[in-house]
Amino acid sequence: MASTVIPANRAPAPTPKLNYLNNGHTLKSWLLTTDHKRIAVLYLISVTAFFFLGGFFAMLIRLELLTPQGDLMQADTYNKVFTMHGIIMVFFFLIPVVPAVLGNFLVPLMIGAKDLAFPRINLLSWYLYIIGGILISHVMLTGGVDTGWTFYTPFSTEYTNTKIVEAGLAVFIAGFSSIFTGLNFIVTIHRMRAPGLTWDRLPLFIWSNYATSLVMVLGTPVVAITIVLVAVERLFHLGIFDPRLGGDPLLFQHLFWFYSHPAVYIMILPSMGVVSELIACFARKRVFGYKFVALSSVAIAVFGFLVWAHHMFVAGISLYAAMIFSFLSFSVGVPSAVKVFNWTATLYKGSISYATPMLYAFGFIGLFTMGGLTGLMLATIGIDVHVTDTYFVVAHFHYVMVGGVLMGYLGGMHFWWPKITGRMYPEAWAKLSALLVFVGFNLTFFPQFILGYVGMPRRYWQYPPEFQALNVLSTAGASILAAGYLLPMIYFVWSLRYGKIAGANPWHAAGLEWKTTSPPPTFNFDETPVVTWEAYNYDEIPPWERRAPVAR
Amino acid sequence: MANQVDALYIYLLVVAGFMTALIFLTILVLAIKYRRVHGREAQQIEGSLILEITWSVIPFFVMLTFFIWGAVIYFRERTPPADATEVYVVAKQWMWKIEHAEGQSEINELHVPIGQNTKLIMTSQDVIHSFFVPAFRIKQDVLPGRYTTAWFKATKPGHYHLFCAEYCGTMHSGMGGDIVVMEPQEYAQWMAGTAVAPLRETGKQLFSALGCATCHRFDVQGRGPNLVGVYNKPVLLEDGRTVIADENYVRESILNPTAKIVNGFKPVMPTFQGLVSEEQLNALVAYVKSLAQPPPGTAGLQSQPATFPAQTEKMQVQ
Ligand SMILES: [Cu+2]
Ligand SMILES: [Cu+2]
């Protein structure tokens, strides 16, 4: 791509004397900061650490499954390993990753505010997350848990002798971190939008974080209560879930999935918001059907609360309950499909760049489509009976949560990296890593669909030899995937020092966050912006900015 | 059943494959056609209500076909035929215990003849397990404290994997076994190989040994209801509800008698929770189910019609 001639008056201003990064260098200035951008950076560092920890456990799982026999580790160890993988990835990575890192950084910037509504509560959220994280690491180092991240009763309450209560406490505390983040976002989005920034002018990223926050605030307390009940039964043997004590084991599953199904929308919705931003910017277009994309986020959040029992079609719920939940689950499919179609339609007559963030956006649409369609297969109850609790389900939710959430997150990280750090990442390396992630991902998880249909149950430490070939493929894919994830880690750090200076708006993107310097000053805007334009007004951006931006 | 599930699965694969291809190709074509070149600018398009409606409504109707077809198959999967042979399954960490109605019991193996509808009446002694036979496309969680059921009909002789599909602790992945499907003659030989008392006989002995018979009598009205013909019939409860006396009801009546009090009776039946094992419970249930007719040797319904007021009353209520 030809290099862009940047007009003199647009030349990247020398990094402003004072931005949020160099405004205070002491450790204390970071650990006691109330600046949403610094808190976002704190989150970035901590979720990245947990991502690699969870990834380490994933590698152990894949290595054990290279051979049919359980040979690398003991059965109990394996069970603890996949439990840790699940707990860390779900509660300490996927749930916070996009809202707490990108959301924290961008929500105030995108709406032209100085900070979130409750900056100290925002800091408290991070501390709660860290306390939860320390606790779970402590559990991991002192014996672990072996229930799977789902903590099914009565196994978790009366049978296992691992550290359930401590692990539950960790999740409980981390849960409050997301409740507070959600509250903060809701209040901020309601109260602190810049003058002129009406709801129908909000970036879709804001809409999706708003919907996510609703789910966080309404759903998380339920899982918190459930954890308390598990602890009570475990510690005091009050009959809640164990039938021997007069409890009902299915009650746990209802409560758990009442939160944990909406939780998958906590994970995916913010990434969907990211994808909308990316596609608009790199196709230079207003998102097709803006209102439908915005409202579909809210629809997903609301419907998401009505489908929890689709995790329980073989658990012993009644025939007719299963049918109703099957039907409702299909209903959530509609708003998700609407999003995919609208993103695709946005490309039409666009001016499409293949910069790395856009590649991730393409990757997201592809993998999310496959994750969603296999989700419809699972909602088809006659099929679910056969494939639930097998590797089919494992593949399905990795397509949605890793293929979806992580692609969106990485796309967003590349897109806003210049804003966060003031530096560009190296484009060629980034393209390579995007390719590795896409190929590695499919190689890892596609074989698992087949494995599931031919009958390999999940959470198996050993398996019949006929399943080996597919498992070997999957492990091979996981190694490629790991390389794909390590690369950005390296070049992002590298770019902090050697990356090209980005300037305020390297992508010539619309959106308030690009109207301030990179990295932004502590209070974001020198003067409060007044919004007189619609979202994604790419046609109004001056012509020299509409030309191909730097992408190399 | 496997064929029906596979047919639906193929339909889903075709639709999903088509949708995936459609979206991938559209993106590919658009991304190439409208790639960024100098001198061409994006054209803004607002959106289109008609398109939005189209791509909401069409997928909805396609999904409706998934739903209906899936529900039909699920209904069959969950409804055992009336003539099915009953097999009791007790799951425990980490083994499957199978009890045939004729009394044979086996561990981690289930022998069945081809062509037989087999109904599994399953419970767990400890945590939740799941009975999964991929070849038959059946899976059902097995819960402590209640019965869940599943059924299948094997059509080809052979050995098929039985897996536990619900994570249940250390040796979850070792909690497997074999479904051995045999030709009928072979199966008959296998059955004849071990002489054992049928489950209902064991149950009958327990029924008197545990003292059930002192209250549940077949001759005169005892302190408890006459159990003849109770199974699978509606029962009027004291609180006015009517429930069907299925396996779970009988089970609950034994373990937790006060949960549902039969109309016209006092809550005097003691709980047998902790006094009977899962296997004994299965035998008792099998026995109560077998009481379609008054057991031979006891005075029957005909001779003592007046002794069953509560029983006849509740029959009429249905
Ligand atoms: Cu779900
Ligand atoms: Cu198991």
Q: Do B169 and A374 touch (CB under 8 A)?
A: no
Closest CA to B214 of B229, B232, B227: B227
**Res. B220: pLDDT tops 80:** no
- Average pLDDT on B57-76 reads 95
- Phi and psi at B164, nearest 5°, equal -90, 125
Rounded Cα distance, A121 and A105, in Å:
15
Rounded Cα distance, A89 and A402, in Å:
10
Are A255 and A84 in contact by the 8 Å Cβ rule? The answer is: no
- Average pLDDT on B5-22 reads 95
Shortest Cα–Cα distance, B77 to chain A (Å): 8
Amino acid at the residue A245: L
Contacts with A451 from chain B: Cβ below 8 Å: none
| pLDDT of res. A548 | 46
User: Which of A87, A383, A456, A545 should we substitute to test contact with B (largest number of B Cβ atoms within 10 Å)?
Assistant: A383
Q: Which class for A210: exposed (0-12), middle (13-18), buried (19 or more C-beta within 10 A)?
A: buried
Q: Do B167 and A152 touch (CB under 8 A)?
A: yes
Q: Do A381 and B74 touch (CB under 8 A)?
A: yes
Q: According to the 3-state scheme, what is the secondary structure of A317-337?
A: CCHHHHHHHHHHHHHHHHHHH
Beta B234-236 vs B177-182: how paired, if at all? Answer: unpaired
Q: What is the ipTM of this complex?
A: 0.89
Q: The tokens of A305 are what?
A: 């609360």
Instruction: Report the Cα A317 to chain-centroid distance in Å.
Output: 30
**Res. B224: pLDDT tops 90:** no
Closest CA to B176 of B136, B143, B134: B134
Q: Do A351 and B40 touch (CB under 8 A)?
A: yes
**What pLDDT band is residue A457 in, cutting at 50, 70 and 90?**
very high
| pLDDT of res. B240 | 87
Instruction: Give just the sign of the alpha carbon dihedral A423, A429, A432, A437.
Output: negative
* Domains defined for chain A, CATH in brackets: 38-545 (1.20.210.10)
Are A273 and A301 in contact by the 8 Å Cβ rule? The answer is: no
What length is written for chain A? 552
Contacts with A365 from chain B: Cβ below 8 Å: 23, 27
Q: The tokens of A71 are what?
A: 């040979």
Restricting to A residues 530-549, those with a Cβ less than 8 Å away from any Cβ of B are 538-539, 546-548
- CB half-sphere exposure, B181, CA atoms < 13 A: 19
| pLDDT of res. B301 | 41
Between residues A31 and B193, which one has the greater pLDDT? Answer: A31
Instruction: Give just the sign of the alpha carbon dihedral A449, A450, A456, A462.
Output: negative
- A385: nearest CB among B16, B138, B145: B138
Q: Do A373 and B145 touch (CB under 8 A)?
A: no
pLDDT mean across residues, chain B: 87
- At A394-441, the pLDDT tens digits run 999 999 999 999 999 999 999 999 999 999 999 999 999 999 999 999
Q: How far is CA B10 from CA A451, A452, B3, B16, in A?
A: 16, 15, 10, 10
- Average pLDDT on B182-207 reads 88
Task: Using CA coordinates, name the residue in chain B closest to A352.
Answer: B35
Rounded Cα distance, A194 and B302, in Å:
88
DSSP 8-state class, residue B269: P
Amino acid at the residue A2: A
Shortest Cα–Cα distance, A327 to chain B (Å): 6
* Residues sharing a CB contact under 8 Å with residue A527, sequence separation 6 or more, in sequence order: none
pTM: 0.89
| pLDDT of res. B102 | 87
- Phi and psi at A380, nearest 5°, equal -75, 100
| pLDDT of res. B295 | 55
Among the listed ranges A1-10, A93-102, A121-130, which one has the minimum average pLDDT value? A1-10
Closest CA to B23 of A82, A365, A529: A365
Instruction: Report the Cα A224 to chain-centroid distance in Å.
Output: 20
Ligand nearest to the CA of B168: 2
DSSP 8-state class, residue B187: H
Restricting to A residues 141-160, those with a Cβ less than 8 Å away from any Cβ of B are 146-148, 150, 152, 154-155, 159-160
Distance from the alpha carbon of residue B170 to the mean position of ligand 2, in angstroms: 9
**What pLDDT band is residue B307 in, cutting at 50, 70 and 90?**
very low
What length is written for chain B? 318
Q: Does A369 touch chain B (CB under 8 A)?
A: yes
Q: Does A45 touch chain B (CB under 8 A)?
A: no
- A369: nearest CB among B20, B63, B173: B20
Q: Do B171 and A345 touch (CB under 8 A)?
A: no
Q: Does A68 touch chain B (CB under 8 A)?
A: no
Q: Do A244 and B137 touch (CB under 8 A)?
A: no
Are B119 and B151 in contact by the 8 Å Cβ rule? The answer is: yes
- At A530-544, the pLDDT tens digits run 998 888 988 887 654
Annotate A81-131 with DSSP letters as a single string.
HHHHHHHIIIIIIIHHIIIIIIIHHHHHHHTT-SS-S-HHHHHHHHHHHHH
Given this chain, do its domains B85-192 and B199-290 carry the same CATH topology? no
- At A191-245, the pLDDT tens digits run 999 999 999 999 999 999 999 999 999 999 999 999 999 999 999 988 899 988 8
**Res. B111: pLDDT tops 90:** yes
- At A362-403, the pLDDT tens digits run 999 999 999 999 999 999 999 999 999 999 999 999 999 999
| Overall fold of domain B199-290 | Cytochrome Bc1 Complex; Chain D, domain 2 (1.10.760)
User: Which of B10, B20, B63 should we substitute to test contact with A (largest number of A Cβ atoms within 10 Å)?
Assistant: B63
**Res. A15: pLDDT tops 70:** no
- Phi and psi at A294, nearest 5°, equal -65, -50
| pLDDT of res. B229 | 84
Distance from the alpha carbon of residue A76 to the mean position of ligand 2, in angstroms: 13
Q: Do A327 and B67 touch (CB under 8 A)?
A: yes
Are A285 and A343 in contact by the 8 Å Cβ rule? The answer is: no
Q: Residues B213-221: contacts with CB within 8 Å, 24+ apart?
A: B215/B268, B215/B269, B217/B298, B218/B294, B218/B295, B218/B298, B218/B299, B218/B300, B219/B298, B219/B299, B219/B303, B219/B304, B219/B307, B220/B304, B220/B307, B221/B307, B221/B308, B221/B309
Rounded Cα distance, B219 and B239, in Å:
28
Number of cross-chain residue pairs from A and B with Cβ atoms under 8 Å apart: 265
Contacts with B4 from chain A: Cβ below 8 Å: 382
Amino acid at the residue B136: F
Query: Helix A249-283 and helix A356-379: axis angle, to 10°?
Result: 150
Restricting to A residues 289-328, those with a Cβ less than 8 Å away from any Cβ of B are 289-292, 313-316, 319, 322-323, 326-327
- At B229-281, the pLDDT tens digits run 888 889 999 888 899 888 889 998 998 888 889 988 888 898 888 888 888 89
Strand partners, B86: B119
**What pLDDT band is residue B296 in, cutting at 50, 70 and 90?**
low
Distance from the alpha carbon of residue A387 to the mean position of ligand 2, in angstroms: 15
Contacts with B56 from chain A: Cβ below 8 Å: 334, 337-338
Closest CA to A481 of A388, A387, A377, A410: A410
Restricting to A residues 239-258, those with a Cβ less than 8 Å away from any Cβ of B are 242-244, 246, 249-250
DSSP 8-state class, residue B146: S
Strands, DSSP E only, in A300-419? none
Q: In a 3-state reduction of DSSP, which class is residue A138?
A: helix
- The secondary element (H helix, E strand) that includes residue B129 is strand B129-133
Considering the domain B85-192, what is its CATH architecture?
A: Sandwich (2.60)
pLDDT mean across residues, chain A: 91
Shortest Cα–Cα distance, B58 to chain A (Å): 10
| pLDDT of res. B198 | 86
**Res. A545: pLDDT tops 60:** no
Closest CA to A523 of A74, A113, A2: A113
Q: Do B27 and A548 touch (CB under 8 A)?
A: no
Q: Do A546 and B41 touch (CB under 8 A)?
A: yes
User: How many Å is the maximal CA-CA distance in chain B?
Assistant: 103
Q: The tokens of A227 are what?
A: 């954890």
Q: The tokens of B194 are what?
A: 């071990």
Rounded Cα distance, B151 and B173, in Å:
23
- Provide the residue ranges of all domains of chain B, joining segments of one domain with +: 2-30+48-77, 85-192, 199-290
- Average pLDDT on A57-78 reads 94
DSSP 8-state class, residue A264: H
